[in-house]
Amino acid sequence: MTVGAGSLGVGSAALGLADIPPSRPEGAGTQISLAAAASDDRDVDSTAALQRLINNHPSFAVLNGEGRVYRISRPLEIPAGSRMLTIENIQLIVAGDHAAIRHADRGPPIAFFQLRKCLIDTTSHRTRGQAAVDFSNMFSFSFERIWVVGAPGVTVGFYGRGGSGSAPYYGVFDRCYVAGVSIGIALSDAEGALQSVNSLTVRDCRIQPGQGNTGIYIGRNSQNIRVNDTTIESFGGIGIHLAGHACMISGNRFEALDVGVAYHPDAHSNVEIGNYFDSNRQNRDGFSPTATNSIIHDRTGADIQQSHLAGALTVVDGLSVGGEAVVGARRGGWALPTGRSSRASFNSSTVTTPELAERVKALIEDLHADRGHGLIGR
């Protein structure tokens, strides 16, 4: 693929989008072809024609681009209150410094919007932080197999923020690819009366931000964000900036980054499990177990680490180190001794039997289930 300023050197045949079957069976929604209404000439502005189709079919419709290329000079806006609208099989060339697709500014949130099998070229962006797709007023959405080719260090692939009366909920990023951006997916900080971004899933995606930039930004007060089976790689920069809470980061791969997961001081009640970090780089920064963040079985090179676990850990057979059992099931039959106990130091050459008995009693108490660790008991 050859990426130029504002254009893609690839046709619909090369991507094979036209051969992909419709996302919904006949009868599941009005099937609308964009080909008859808008020009697929990359040098012709198709914005007005595409927007007219979207406005005329805001709900219960599938708008199919049939794999063709459409040039747009301003954002395509999804009307407020839209429900069950799908746009698919389309290539969008953004001809200016603006988003490709965004929500309407005012009105009720979009109940469900699906964008699938879409390539978005935003290499024309010049303002840092400009988004390719802005999902801020979309109550629920699904982005599936979206390719975003951004202006290096400028474009934000997907951007969402909470609102005063609603926030993005129940969103899914599925098998998306984002390259050459300042941030791949950005969930804005929620302040004051703004509600947080909630219950989003990023799965099986590949994010390659520009050198020294960020893969995923999970802003302050964002919650219930799941990042699973995703690869984030760049030359330096941060894989995931985490300032939210109740988030799950699992089964991901972080390559050639300065920091895999960077914890903001406000991050709490988050879990990392089963991630792989490039062993030549710093794995994480700012991690605070006192904020009840947990890291379980992350892998760095050939080493498995458990940095912190909040709460109880239940195992079936026992704990092992290097294949050798170190802690097994509790041994019973131990009664607590009576009398005086002591944990003071002693000289093995001069210790008396009563002094030694005091220390044995203290050791039994520390190991006993009624007083201490629970390795032994009644």
Predicted confidence (pLDDT) per residue in 167-221, tens digit: 688 899 999 999 989 999 999 887 665 667 889 999 999 999 988 899 999 998 8
Q: Are residues 217 and 109 in the same domain?
A: yes
CATH of the domain at 33: 2.160.20.10
251: left (phi over 0), alpha (psi -120 to 50) or beta: left
pLDDT confidence of residue 310: 55
Q: How confident is the model at residue 15 (pLDDT cuts 50, 70, 90)?
A: very low
The domain in which residue 105 lies consists of 3-305
Q: Which residues pair with 327 in a beta bridge?
A: 319
- At residue 41, does pLDDT exceed 80? no
Same domain flag for 362 and 223:
no
Domain boundary among 305, 331, 355: 305
Q: Are 219 and 357 found together in one domain?
A: no
Q: Is 288 among the domain residues?
A: yes
Q: Is the residue at 312 inside a domain?
A: no
For residues 153 and 88, membership in a common domain is answered with yes
Residues 294/309, Cβ–Cβ less than 8 Å = yes
Do 144 and 41 share a structural domain?
yes
pTM, whole model, 2 decimals? 0.74
378 assigned to some structural domain: no
Burial class of 314 by CB neighbour count within 10 A (0 to 12, 13 to 18, 19+): exposed
- Considering its fold, how many domains does the chain have in total? 2
Average confidence score pLDDT of the chain: 83
Q: Are residues 218 and 363 in the same domain?
A: no
Q: Is residue 375 part of a domain?
A: no
Q: What is the pLDDT of residues 274-320, one digit of tens each?
A: 888 875 455 676 666 556 777 765 666 544 444 555 556 677 677 77
Q: Is residue 79 part of a domain?
A: yes
232: Cβ contacts below 8 Å, ≥ 6 apart: 184, 207, 208, 209, 215, 216, 239, 240, 252, 253, 254, 255, 257
